[in-house]
Amino acid sequence: MSTPCTRSTDEFSDLKRAKMIKAVSEDAPSKAGLFRRVYSPKANPRLAIKTKCLECCWMDEATIRECTARECPLWSFRPYQKPQ
């Protein structure tokens, strides 16, 4: 007999994504919805880039703005840049 799927912690089939959602929900609950949207099949590239930058800098928008990792392929597309 199989157990029914629960959507709380097993919301995503990928264990890494489920762990990330849990960590974000605990550390930065205001960003959890963003991560849930980007892990859905309908996420757009801009949203994925924003989420990856937030993950890399652990939710610190100021650190993304001041990012010096020019070797990162997403560097020129990162969010929160100051207008030039």
- For residue range 24-49, what is the model confidence (pLDDT) as tens digits? 999 999 999 999 999 988 889 999 99
| pLDDT (0 to 100) of residue 82 | 73
pLDDT-based confidence at residue 11 (cuts at 50, 70, 90): low
DSSP of 17-79: HHHHHHHHHHH-GGGHHHHHHHTSTT--HHHHHHHHHHHHTTT-HHHHHT---TTSTTGGG-S
